[in-house]
C-alpha cells in the first residue's frame, strides 16, 4: 500500500516507474517526474490501462475512491475505458444542449434566411432575458416555472405583456429547434401560451385626406436632424416598413436607370421575398437630399456624416411624438395604412396595392402560380400617389375616385 510520504519521495529517473497500491491501482511516474494515477486491468484477455488523474491534483484518497468506482464497473462486466469514453461523450452532448448553446445554433442556422431585424431582435431577447436565467441549463432540465419566472415580471412589473410574449415565443422556438435536432425532448415554454394576457391589437389608423396637409405641415416644421425628416417623407412616398428604409444601403438603388427603382433584398423583407419599389420623381428628389447629407455613407438614412450606421427606428417613433401624434394616435406604420386607404379610395387595383405593400398572398395555391409583379402598373400608381400626396399637402381637395364616380362631392 502506498503512502503520501512514499509518493512524494519518488524522484525522476531515466526510466518510467510504476508504484502499485493494490487491486490494479498504481502511480505512474514519467522520466520527467510527472505523476498520474492509473488503473491496470484485464478485459477479454487483454491488458488495459485507464488513466484516472494527475497527482497531486488527485490525492491518494481520491484516487482510491475513483479506482473503486471503476473496479466495480469492471466487475459488472463492462470495459472501464469504453465507459469512460461514453461518459465523456454524454458530458460533451449535455454541454452542447444548454439553452445558450442551442439558441446560438438556432440563430446561426436561421439567421441567414431571415432579415437583419429578425436576427437582431431575437438575439437581444435571448441575451437580455433568457440566457441570464436559463442559459447554462440543458433544455430538458428547464421547468415551466423557470420560464414563467422570466416572462411574468416583464408582463406584470414592467407592464410590457407583448414583450413578455415575445420572450416566451423565442424560448419556445429554441426548444422546438432542439427537439428537431434530437437534443431535447421537452418544451417548457409551450404550455405558457395563455399565461400572458395580451391587450387587443390596435390597427394602425390611416390619415384621412383632410389630415394629409396637416401631417406634412408638422413634418416640415419638425426640428432636429434633416435625415429624420427626409426619412419620414420618403416613407410616405414609398410606404415601406420603417426598418426596410432605415437599413437600406445605396447599393440597393438604381437612380440612373431610365425607370429608377429600389430593390430590397429578401433578407431584409418581412416575408423573405425580394421587393422592388418603383421610385416617383418626389422620392428621387428626397433621395438626392439624403445623399447630399452624408455622401460617403453606405446607408441611405444615416446620422449626419457617419459612414457605418443608420438611425434607429425609435428615432422615427420619437419624431412622430414630437410632431404631436401622442399615445399612438398616428404611428409610422400608419403611412402604409394611409397609402392603402387612399389608393383603394381612388379605385386602384387591389392586387397592385397589395403587391406594393409587400403583403403575402393569403391563398397559397394562388401565390404559387402568381408570378406577375405588375411593375409597370405599379410605377404608374406610385407616381400618381406621390402627386396626390403633394396636392393634399398643398391644401388641395382631391375627391376620391369612388365618390366622384357616384356623383358625390
Q: What's the CATH fold of domain 99-192? A: DNA polymerase; domain 1 (1.10.150)
pLDDT above 70 for 92: no
A 10 A CB-CB count for 326 gives 10
Reported as a single tens digit per residue, the pLDDT across 293-302 is: 888 888 898 8
Q: CATH for 209-405?
A: 1.10.443.10
The pLDDT confidence band at residue 74, using thresholds 50, 70 and 90, is: very high
Reported as a single tens digit per residue, the pLDDT across 109-124 is: 888 777 666 788 899 9
Query: What mean pLDDT, rounded, does the chain reach?
Result: 86
Structure confidence at residue 363 (pLDDT) = 52
Pick the range with the lowest mean pLDDT from 316-320, 360-364, 376-380, 405-409: 405-409
- Please report, for the chain, the start and end positions of each structural domain, with discontinuous segments joined by +: 4-93, 99-192, 209-405
Show the cell assigned to 65. Answer: 475512491
The pLDDT confidence band at residue 183, using thresholds 50, 70 and 90, is: confident
pLDDT above 70 for 402: no
Structure confidence at residue 297 (pLDDT) = 87
Q: What is the DSSP letter of 208?
A: P
Span 155-162, average pLDDT: 89
Report helix angle 116-125 to 99-110, nearest 10. 170
Structure confidence at residue 409 (pLDDT) = 43
Show the cell assigned to 326. Answer: 401622442
Span 175-203, average pLDDT: 86
Question: Which residue in 47, 88, 91, 84 sits closest to 69, CA to CA?
Answer: 84
Reported as a single tens digit per residue, the pLDDT across 215-227 is: 999 999 998 889 9
pLDDT above 60 for 372: no
Measured distance CA(116)–CA(114) in Å, rounded: 7
Q: Tell me the CA distances in angstroms from 319 to 202, 210, 227, 324, 375, one per residue in order.
A: 20, 21, 11, 9, 32
Task: Name the region of 154 (left: φ>0; alpha: ψ -120 to 50; beta: rest).
Answer: alpha
Pick the range with the lowest mean pLDDT from 71-75, 103-107, 303-307: 303-307
Structure confidence at residue 86 (pLDDT) = 78
pLDDT above 80 for 271: no
Longest C-alpha distance within the chain, in Å?
111
The pLDDT confidence band at residue 370, using thresholds 50, 70 and 90, is: very low
Structure confidence at residue 184 (pLDDT) = 86
Q: Is 61 exposed, middle or buried (0-12, 13-18, 19+ CB in 10 A)?
A: exposed
Span 184-197, average pLDDT: 90
Q: Tell me the CA distances in angstroms from 397 to 163, 394, 401, one per residue in order.
A: 42, 9, 12
The pLDDT confidence band at residue 198, using thresholds 50, 70 and 90, is: confident
Q: What is the DSSP letter of 257?
A: S
Measured distance CA(399)–CA(392) in Å, rounded: 10
Reported as a single tens digit per residue, the pLDDT across 28-68 is: 999 999 999 999 999 999 999 999 989 999 999 999 999 99
Structure confidence at residue 103 (pLDDT) = 93
Q: How many CA atoms lie within 13 A of 197 on its CB side?
A: 2
Task: Name the region of 182 (left: φ>0; alpha: ψ -120 to 50; beta: rest).
Answer: left
Structure confidence at residue 367 (pLDDT) = 44
Structure confidence at residue 94 (pLDDT) = 56
Q: Tell me the CA distances in angstroms from 92 to 88, 97, 180, 377, one per residue in order.
A: 6, 9, 19, 58
Span 376-396, average pLDDT: 93
pLDDT above 60 for 309: no
Q: Tell me the CA distances in angstroms from 22 to 1, 5, 253, one per residue in order.
A: 7, 17, 79
Whole-number percent of the chain with pLDDT over 90? 59
Q: Tell me the CA distances in angstroms from 187 to 119, 140, 173, 177, 277, one per residue in order.
A: 22, 8, 9, 10, 41
β partners of residue 36: 28, 54
pTM, two decimal places: 0.56
Residue with more model confidence, 111 or 157: 157
Task: Name the region of 224 (left: φ>0; alpha: ψ -120 to 50; beta: rest).
Answer: left
Q: What is the DSSP letter of 200?
A: P
Structure confidence at residue 294 (pLDDT) = 87
pLDDT above 80 for 385: yes
Q: CA angle 382-385-391, nearest 5°? A: 145
Name 328's Cβ contacts closer than 8 Å, sequence gap at least 6: 202
Strand, helix or coil for residue 54: strand
Question: Which residue in 322, 356, 126, 389 sits closest to 244, CA to CA?
Answer: 356
pLDDT above 60 for 362: no
Q: CATH for 4-93?
A: 3.30.160.390
Structure confidence at residue 246 (pLDDT) = 87
Structure confidence at residue 270 (pLDDT) = 79
Amino acid at each position: 500500500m502506498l503512502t503520501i510520504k512514499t509518493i512524494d519521495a519518488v524522484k525522476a529517473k531515466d526510466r518510467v516507474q510504476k508504484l502499485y497500491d493494490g487491486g490494479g491501482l498504481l502511480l505512474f511516474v514519467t522520466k520527467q517526474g510527472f505523476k498520474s494515477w492509473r488503473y491496470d486491468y484485464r478485459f477479454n484477455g487483454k491488458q488495459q490501462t485507464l488513466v484516472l488523474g494527475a497527482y497531486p491534483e488527485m490525492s491518494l484518497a481520491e484516487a482510491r475512491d475513483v479506482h473503486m468506482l471503476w473496479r466495480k464497473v469492471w466487475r459488472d462486466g463492462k470495459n472501464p475505458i469504453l465507459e469512460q469514453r461514453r461518459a465523456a461523450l454524454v458530458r460533451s452532448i449535455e454541454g452542447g444542449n444548454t439553452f445558450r448553446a442551442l439558441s446560438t445554433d438556432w440563430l446561426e442556422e436561421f439567421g441567414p434566411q431571415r432579415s437583419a431585424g429578425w436576427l437582431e431582435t431575437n438575439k437581444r431577447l435571448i441575451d437580455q432575458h433568457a440566457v441570464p436565467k436559463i442559459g447554462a441549463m440543458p433544455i430538458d432540465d428547464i421547468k415551466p416555472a423557470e420560464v414563467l419566472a422570466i416572462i411574468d415580471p416583464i408582463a406584470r412589473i414592467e407592464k410590457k405583456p407583448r414583450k413578455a410574449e415575445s420572450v416566451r415565443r423565442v424560448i419556445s422556438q429554441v426548444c422546438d429547434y432542439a427537439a428537431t435536432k434530437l437534443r431535447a425532448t421537452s418544451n417548457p415554454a409551450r404550455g405558457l401560451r395563455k399565461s400572458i394576457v395580451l391587450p387587443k391589437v390596435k390597427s394602425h389608423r390611416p390619415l384621412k385626406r383632410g389630415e394629409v396637409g396637416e401631417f406634412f405641415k408638422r413634418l416640415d416644421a419638425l426640428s432636429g436632424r434633416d435625415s429624420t425628416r427626409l426619412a419620414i417623407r420618403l416613407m410616405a412616398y414609398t410606404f415601406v416598413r420603417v426598418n426596410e428604409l432605415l437599413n437600406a444601403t445605396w447599393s440597393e438603388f438604381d437612380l440612373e436607370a431610365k425607370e429608377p427603382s429600389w430593390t430590397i433584398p429578401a433578407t431584409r423583407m418581412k416575408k423573405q421575398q425580394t421587393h422592388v419599389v418603383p421610385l416617383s420623381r418626389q422620392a428621387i428628389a428626397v433621395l438626392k437630399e439624403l445623399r447630399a447629407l452624408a455622401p460617403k455613407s453606405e446607408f441611405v438614412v444615416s446620422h449626419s456624416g457617419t459612414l457605418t450606421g443608420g438611425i434607429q427606428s425609435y428615432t422615427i417613433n420619437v419624431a412622430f411624438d414630437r410632431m404631436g401624434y401622442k399615445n399612438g394616435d398616428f404611428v409610422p406604420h400608419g403611412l402604409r395604412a394611409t397609402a392603402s386607404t387612399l389608393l383603394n379610395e381612388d379605385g386602384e387595383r387591389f392586387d397592385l396595392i397589395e403587391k406594393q405593400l409587400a403583403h403575402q398572398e393569403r391563398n397559397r395555391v394562388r401565390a404559387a402560380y402568381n408570378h406577375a409583379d405588375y411593375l409597370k402598373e405599379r410605377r404608374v400608381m406610385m407616381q400618381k400617389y406621390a402627386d396626390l400626396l403633394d396636392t393634399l399637402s398643398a391644401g388641395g381637395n382631391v375627391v376620391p375616385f369612388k365618390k366622384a364616380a357616384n356623383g358625390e362631392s
